[in-house]
C-alpha cells in the first residue's frame, strides 16, 4: 500500500467518532494537580466524557487555578444562579450568547461598556431600570432600542450626562412627561 493511500485510510478512520474519541481522550493521571483538584468530582466519570468536553473542562480548571478568591466566589455565585434556571431559560441564554458572539467586535465592546455602566449604578437605580424595562411591551422595548441606535452618539452622551446630573425628582418628572408623550403616539 502506498504511503499516500495509508495516509488517506488513516485520515478516514481518524474522522470516525469512536476513533477520534479514543485518540484524543485525556487520561486522568495526565492532568495537572490543579486540574485534578478542580475536577475531582468528575474523576470516576472522566473516561465517559467526550474528549471535547474533557478539553473544555481542563481549560476551565486552568482558568480556575489562576483566579483570585474574589473571582472564584463570583464564579460560584454565577454557577449557582445558572443551576437555578429552568432548561428553557438556559436555552434562551445560550441563544443570546450565540447572537452576541456573532456581533462585530465594536458592537460587543459597546455592550460590555453598557453593562459595566449599568453595574456601576446604585442598586436602587438598577432595580428601577429593571422594573421599568420589564413593564414594557416587546414593541416598546424594540422601539426604545431603535431610538437609541439611531441617536447621534454625541447627543446620547449629552443626554446621559444631563440625566446623571438630575435629581431623582427631576428624573421622575421626565419619566412622566415621556409617558404622557408616548401615550399620544400613534400605534
Taking CA 163 as the corner, what is the angle to CA 151 and CA 156, rounded to the nearest 5 degrees?
15
Percent of the chain with pLDDT over 90: 23
Residue 17 reports pLDDT greater than 90: no
Residue 5 reports pLDDT greater than 50: no
pLDDT interval class at 6 (50, 70, 90): very low
pLDDT at site 84: 93
pLDDT at site 89: 93
* Burial class of residue 54 in the structure, from the number of CB atoms within 10 Å of its CB (0-12 exposed, 13-18 middle, 19+ buried): buried
Backbone angles phi and psi of 68, in degrees to 5: -75, 165
Q: Is the pTM of this model over 0.75?
A: no
DSSP annotation of 166: S
pLDDT interval class at 154 (50, 70, 90): confident
Residue 158 reports pLDDT greater than 50: yes
pLDDT at site 129: 87
Residue 1 reports pLDDT greater than 80: no
Residue 15 reports pLDDT greater than 70: no
Alpha helices in 2-152 (DSSP H): 3-14, 17-24, 33-38, 51-65, 69-84, 87-102, 105-119, 123-135, 138-150
Residue 187 reports pLDDT greater than 60: no
pLDDT interval class at 24 (50, 70, 90): low
Q: 182: closest CA among 141, 126, 128?
A: 141
Taking CA 53 as the corner, what is the angle to CA 91 and CA 6, rounded to the nearest 5 degrees?
125
Amino acid at each position: 500500500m502506498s504511503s499516500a493511500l495509508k495516509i488517506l485510510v488513516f485520515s478516514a478512520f481518524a474522522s470516525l467518532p469512536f476513533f477520534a474519541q479514543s485518540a484524543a481522550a485525556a487520561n486522568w493521571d495526565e492532568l495537572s494537580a490543579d486540574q485534578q483538584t478542580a475536577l475531582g468530582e468528575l474523576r470516576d466519570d472522566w473516561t465517559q466524557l467526550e474528549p471535547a468536553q474533557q478539553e473544555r473542562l481542563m481549560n476551565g480548571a486552568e482558568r480556575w487555578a489562576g483566579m483570585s478568591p474574589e473571582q472564584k466566589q463570583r464564579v460560584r455565585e454565577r454557577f449557582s444562579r445558572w443551576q437555578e434556571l429552568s432548561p428553557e431559560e438556559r436555552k434562551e441564554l445560550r441563544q443570546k450568547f450565540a447572537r452576541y458572539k456573532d456581533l462585530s467586535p465594536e458592537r460587543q465592546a459597546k455592550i460590555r461598556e453598557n453593562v459595566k455602566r449599568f453595574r456601576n449604578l446604585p442598586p436602587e437605580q438598577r432595580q428601577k431600570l429593571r422594573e421599568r424595562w420589564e413593564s414594557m411591551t416587546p414593541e416598546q422595548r424594540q422601539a426604545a432600542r431603535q431610538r437609541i441606535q439611531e441617536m447621534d452618539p454625541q447627543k446620547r452622551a449629552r443626554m446621559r450626562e444631563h440625566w446623571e446630573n438630575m435629581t431623582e425628582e427631576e428624573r421622575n418628572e421626565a419619566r412622566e412627561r415621556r409617558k404622557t408623550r408616548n401615550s399620544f403616539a400613534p400605534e
